[in-house]
């Protein structure tokens, strides 16, 4: 969960830089953002792993109820509830730019309401059965979904971009690479009760490789597709520039 959250918010860091002074060094921004994300993820994950060694964990609330005294457990649960609300606000905000990037024309605040409404409806539907099992499956799917998406983002940012070119807004090479990354990971998916790929079924240890396979596949495919398209564009520009426009065309 912590890894998925950190990766999913990584591309929206640039949106928060508008609140920073224009002369802030990029290295400083990266250092503080990375350190804050790392600390915020590692300590809570370490705490959960430590508690799991001294108590049986059936649901996430057991991390609190079975370890802490009654009054302290109540206060902790209230704090977790408040933190969940604030986190959900960030989720709605980060989902709104994704909604707009997809080409939907509406104001940002309208996109926030749409994303929040869809999330609430899906959450309510998932909570009708075994909520914790549904939530666990969702987290696994989220990690596998984000891995190829992050690969496309990194390739586009560090290997492909040109500062004077605007990133495409349609479903181009990035979407194809992301989709192929997901397909490549299908044989390695391991979600008992939902879907177990053939490789994960015959070799259970490979079930943890799905996200890595999706990441590498999407990154390589996106790099290959964008490199090919840019080479063709450069060739076309060279052919156009070498054409003798001063030569008279016979009547």
148, 218 contact by CB (below 8 A): yes
Angle at 204 between CA 203 and CA 209, to 5 degrees: 95
Of residues 244, 133, 147, the one with CA closest to residue 189: 147
pLDDT at 133 over 80: no
What is the predicted pLDDT for the residue at 251?
Answer: 44
| Residue 51 CB partners (closer than 8 Å, separation 6+) | 57, 63, 67
Q: Which residues contact 210 (CB under 8 A, 6 or more apart)?
A: 144, 185, 188, 189, 190, 197, 200
In whole angstroms, give the CA distance from residue 146 to residue 182. Answer: 10
Tens of pLDDT, residue by residue over 83-126, are 778 778 877 887 887 788 777 888 888 988 998 898 888 878 87
Residue 236 confidence (pLDDT): 63
Which letter does DSSP use for residue 169 in this model?
-
Strand partners, 195: 191
Q: What is the dihedral of CA 118, 121, 127, 128, to 10 degrees?
A: -140
The residue with greater pLDDT, 11 or 191, is 191
Contact 187, 199 (CB under 8 A): yes
Nearest to 204 by CA among 189, 219, 214: 189
Q: How far is CA 238 from CA 161, 224, 243, in A?
A: 20, 21, 9
Give the DSSP letter string of 79-144. HHHHHHHHHHHHHHHHHHHHHHHTT--S-HHHHHHHHHHHHHHHHHHHTTS-HHHHHHHHHHHHHH
The DSSP element (H or E) to which 34 belongs, if any, is helix 26-52
Residue 143, pLDDT score: 76
* pTM over 0.75, yes/no: no
Encode pLDDT of 140-163 as tens digits: 777 788 889 889 988 887 877 554
What is the pLDDT at residue 92? 83
DSSP classification of residue 190: E
């Amino acid at each position: 969960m912590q890894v998925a959250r950190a990766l999913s918010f990584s591309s929206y860091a640039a949106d928060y830089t508008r609140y920073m002074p224009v002369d802030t060094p990029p290295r400083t921004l990266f250092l503080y953002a990375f350190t804050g994300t790392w600390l915020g993820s590692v300590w809570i994950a370490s705490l959960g792993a430590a508690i799991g060694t001294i108590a049986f964990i059936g649901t996430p609330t057991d991390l609190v109820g079975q370890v802490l005294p009654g009054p302290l457990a109540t206060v902790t649960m209230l704090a977790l509830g408040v933190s969940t609300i604030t986190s959900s606000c960030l989720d709605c905000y980060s989902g709104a730019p994704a909604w707009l990037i997809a080409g939907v024309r509406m104001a940002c605040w309208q996109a926030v309401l749409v994303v929040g409404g869809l999330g609430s409806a899906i959450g309510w539907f998932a909570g009708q059965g075994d909520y914790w099992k549904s939530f666990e499956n969702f987290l696994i799917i989220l990690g596998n979904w984000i891995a190829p998406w992050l690969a496309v983002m990194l390739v586009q940012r560090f290997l492909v971009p040109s500062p004077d070119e605007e990133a495409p807004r349609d479903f181009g090479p990035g979407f194809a690479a992301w989709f192929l990354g997901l397909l490549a990971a299908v044989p390695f998916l391991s979600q008992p009760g939902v879907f177990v790929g053939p490789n994960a079924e015959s070799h259970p240890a490979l079930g943890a490789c799905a996200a890595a396979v999706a990441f590498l596949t999407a990154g390589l495919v996106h790099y290959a597709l964008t490199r090919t398209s840019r080479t063709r564009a450069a060739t076309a520009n060279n052919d156009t520039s070498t054409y003798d426009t001063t030569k008279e065309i016979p009547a």
